[in-house]
Structure 1
Amino acid sequence: MQIETPPSTKPYEKPEGERRGLILVNTGDGKGKTTAAFGLAFRATGRGKAVKVFQFMKVPTARFGEHRLADQVGMPVQGLGDGFSWKSKDLEQSGQIARDGWEHAKAAILSGEYFLVVLDEVTYPLIYGWLPLQEVLDTLKARPKDVHVCVTGRRCPQEIIDIADTVTEMTLIKHAFKAGVPAQRGIED
């Protein structure tokens, strides 16, 4: 480890631009994409902002830790999937569930009712061909001026990255699962 001297001057100038809704992307093979999106959603909720989270791979009955806390603070989370694709009994049905769910998410984005809309794991139905990329792009571009959208999932399409304002790539360096440690409640779910 290299010891550094703390900065003594502000390392940036305050931007002069107008505040507006942002497109934020959390992608990459590392852990933390959904966790970061929920952190953002809880932060906005804590500020009294209207937030809606759509989870494209989680079943509507999912009850992970984030769902339990979201219920406590009144933050709506809607599962739009039927679980991981390898657990699906009918991939065509999984695609239809994603398409139906997208209509709800699209309506929420375009309604202007929400300060922040989270599209958790939406990259999977996109890269599986279940959702039309151009329609998602058009919706993101047509959203009301003050609506923020957070997109999560591995292998985010470059077209979304290109129109995003902030993109964070979570990089896998080391993961306990690869060392044989199973997922643990409160950490992975």
Structure 2
Amino acid sequence: MEIEAPPLLRDTPKPTGERRGLVIVHTGTGKGKSTAAFGLALRAHGRGKVIKVYQFMKVPTARFGEHRLFEQLGVPIVGLGDGFSWKSRDLEHSAELAQFGWAQAEATIRAGEHFMVVLDEIMYPLRYGWMPLEPVLACLRERPPHVHVVLTGRGAPAEIIELADTVTEMTLIKHHFKAGVPAQRGIED
């Protein structure tokens, strides 16, 4: 490791624009997309902001760590799916759930009552063709100006990346699965 001197001067100009709602995307093959989105949601909740989380692949009865914590905090988290495609018994039904879920999420975004709306794992139903992309883009463009929307999932469409204000691509460098270490509660859930 090479040691470097800490910066003594700010190396980027201070922003002068107006604060507004942002579209934030976490994509890529690396771990941490949902975790980063939940971190933003917790940060906003900690500031007294109203947030809502929609999970497009999790079942409504899911009880993962994030569900337990958000429930304790009084933060609504809604499972909209029936599990990842390899767990689904009926992909047509999965598509119907995604479309029904999108209608709920879109209504929440457009209502403007939330500071932040998280659309966790929304890229999957978009990539699988379960939901059309254009209504999602239209909603993001037309949302009330104070609403922040965070979208997660691998393979974000170029159109969403172009529209977004901030895009982070999580890059897989090394993963414990490849060494044969299974998923662990509190890490993957």
TM-score by length of 1: 0.99
The residue aligned with 2:79 is 79
Runs of 4+ in 1 over 3 A off after TM superposition: none
5+ long unaligned stretches in structure 2: none
Matches of 2:177 and 2:54 in 1, distance apart?
26
Matches of 1:179 and 1:58 in 2, distance apart?
26
Matches of 1:99 and 1:8 in 2, distance apart?
51
The residue aligned with 1:25 is 25
Q: Deviations over 1:42-97 (max 9, x none)?
A: 00000000000000000001111111110111110000000010111110000000
User: Tell me, what secondary structure is at the counterpart of 1:86?
Assistant: coil
* TM-aligned CA deviation for residue 149 of structure 1: 0.2
* TM-aligned CA deviation for residue 166 of structure 1: 0.2
Q: Deviations over 1:10-64 (max 9, x none)?
A: 2222100000000000000000000000000000000000000000000001111
The residue aligned with 1:165 is 165
| Matched-pair identity in % | 68
User: Tell me, what secondary structure is at the counterpart of 1:113?
Assistant: coil
Give the count of matched residue pairs. 189
5+ long unaligned stretches in structure 1: none
Structural RMSD (CA)? 0.5
Matches of 1:87 and 1:10 in 2, distance apart?
49
* TM-aligned CA deviation for residue 9 of structure 1: 1.0
1:178 is the counterpart of 2:170: no
* Aligned AA (1:44): A
TM-score by length of 2: 0.99
Matches of 1:130 and 1:182 in 2, distance apart?
29
Matches of 2:170 and 2:6 in 1, distance apart?
26
